[in-house]
Amino acid sequence: MRLDRLVTPWAERAPDRVAVDGADEAITYGELDRLANRFARVFRANGLKPGERVGVHLPRSGRAIAAMLGALRAGAVYVPLDPGSPPTRMGLIAQDCGLHHVVISPSLLASWAAAGVCGSIEHFFLSATGGPIEVPASTRTHAWSEVESANPAPTEPAGSSPDDLAYLLYTSGSTGVPKGVMLSHRNALAFVDWAADQIGLSDGDRVASVAPFHFDLSVFDIWSSLSRGATIVIVDEATVVSGRRMLDRIHAKTINVWYSVPSALVLMLESGGLAERGAPSLRVVFFAGEVFALKHLRSTMAALPKARFFNLFGPTETNVCLAYEVTAPPAPDAPAIPIGRASCGDVISILDPEGRVLPDGQVGELFVDGPTVMLGYWDGGRRTAPKRPYATGDLVSRRPDGELMYHGRRDHMVKIHGFRVELGEVEAALHDHGCIQEAVVFAVEQQLVAVAVPSDPTVSVLDIKRHCAARLPRYMIPSDVRLVEQLPRTSNGKADRVRTKTAVIAGDASLLRPVQRAETGKES
Amino acid sequence: MEARVKADVRQFIVSSWLSGDERGFDEQTDLQQTGILDSFSTLSLIAFLEDNFKVQLDPADINSETFRTVNAITGLVLAKLARQGTAGAVEKP
């Protein structure tokens, strides 16, 4: 099976069912199928060869999904680009993977042109009417009408192998240079089918699209939905920044399946009124990407008593390789919830630094082999297969009942005066505090620094230290605790550890505004 | 004198390890139970005391009791100053 063949059967069976319920327009399965064929024809007519890459730089929408499908139907590889990232970064990615064809909105094209990064692009395809936009002479811009009026009949299938590269996801490498993760149709479908089966996804479901398309969570939203004839409901970029607007969208669109980072759910709890309003339509909540603070998970589960909750786990390189269904709210004294067991047909092992298999209870690195493991990193098109099993860099242990527990990133291990400190463990202790919304911890010159966002302005640095001292060894108590209004976020919506650390070192108060301290009015 | 020592010690601790946040902190706050003092912060506190008050602390002076609270530290510093003052008075004439 291939991703580009998922839609046609539904277009034949239920052409008028809405495939993508977008912010601006709704597209039916019939329309999506035809628009994908139009894109495929226009790409081919403009020199796109099988195996080449197509950039898709659009807000999340039915047209963006049609462009991805069209690229696959032309035998090419789609590269979702983040509409929230600066054009210079897009220029780097375009250069890295040799993009010559990009589908883009008029306003984003204007930003590329202004930044002077259009150079290597031969063809821009506008996703809407707009312009004219001044681009270099070597670059052609195709109007939306050219796509819209193209022949919608199916093209000759260009690719046939499920092991073909389907898409590249660029992740921010820890060094700052974006890295392209190569994923095949088979990689995607191992997860797409597994996830759909877990929850019995079907043509009556309304699946939220919350995660950006360049983030691997969206693989479920798009492809699991299309494979089962469900409707994708776009929770657009302007909505995901507000807890209230997100919850309004769930209510208005009767969204019943949701997959996001925990932060989005916390936002609905803290500022959207989730606890009071509930969301009775939701039957499934998947979460992944960061640790869900247990107090927030409990509140979310209390607000959604009928929903099933799943903790999904895996780096972009393996999509999802572990899963845990949270069947009951975690007990008040529970330290954390498991990340679960191998999923999607993957096989996992927990090894020590010498490669020996560790017994239950011992913390080691998670290794993964199986159908979701990427083809490799993009390296000028060479397919350099990753070492197998794939070393995730995540530290885990296995409980006697077989469930895996997460202990942070291997590269988040620092040494403070010779002591090994797992930063994730310090963060978990901070998240355990009833008045801390979120926190990141890092080391600066042998000192642990915690930057925390309090949910209660009366919480003091002393309260937090006392709380840590009751849970952690002395050397793991942050010596420098900053209370700020909010943390910088990555384009995936996660707390941005790197930018937080940089701002602390540079003393940049504009990014980390201190909270207004309030007195408790009582002796603490 | 006592008030000055107390205020200096307190100010040093609050600015070094509490980001200047004085809320909830007083002279009787347990510096170990609250995670403020560990072996490394104790070293920098000793350096501050020796430098600021011109006292010489011996290993015997430094234990969990003498470093438990701002009051205890103040007591230690005052005792040291008193002893050194006497010693100085004996040597000078």
Q: Where are the domains of chain A?
A: 3-16+25-184, 286-411, 417-506
Q: Where are the domains of chain B?
A: 2-14+27-87
CB contact under 8 A, A460 and B29: no
| Rounded-to-integer distance, Cα A266 and Cα A293, Å | 9
Residues of B in contact with A475 (CB under 8 A): 38
Is the fold of A3-16+25-184 the same as that of A417-506?
no
Q: B2-14+27-87 architecture in CATH?
A: Orthogonal Bundle (1.10)
CB burial of B33-49 (b: ≥16 within 10 Å; e: otherwise) equals: ebbbbbeebbeebeeeb
A residues 431-460 closer than 8 Å to B (CB): 458, 460
Give the rounded percent of residues in chain A with a pLDDT score beyond 70.
Answer: 98
pLDDT at A521: 54
Homologous superfamily in CATH for domain A286-411: Luciferase; Domain 3 (2.30.38.10)
Per-residue CA distances from A349 to A353, A360, A460 (Å): 13, 11, 42
pLDDT at A174: 46
pLDDT at A408 over 90: no
B29–chain A Cβ distance below 8 A for any pair: yes
pLDDT tens-digit series, residues A64-94? 999 999 999 999 999 999 888 888 888 889 9
Given the candidates 3.40.50.980, 3.60.15.10, 3.30.930.10, 3.90.550.10, the CATH classification of the domain at A3-16+25-184 is 3.40.50.980
pLDDT at B83: 87
Size of interface A-B (CB pairs under 8 A): 58
Amino acid at A128: A
**Predicted ipTM of the assembly:** 0.86
Kindly report the nearest CA distance between residue A474 and chain B, in angstroms.
Answer: 6
More confident residue, A472 or A105: A105
CB contact under 8 A, B38 and A475: yes
Return the beta strands (E) in A354-502 as ranges: 364-369, 376-377, 390-398, 404-409, 413-416, 419-422, 436-444, 447-454, 480-483
Task: Tell me the mean pLDDT in the region B75-90.
Answer: 76
- Range A417-506 classified under CATH 3.30.300.30: yes
Kindly report the nearest CA distance between residue A207 and chain B, in angstroms.
Answer: 45
pLDDT tens-digit series, residues B20-43? 999 999 999 999 889 999 877 888
Average pLDDT of every residue of chain A: 92
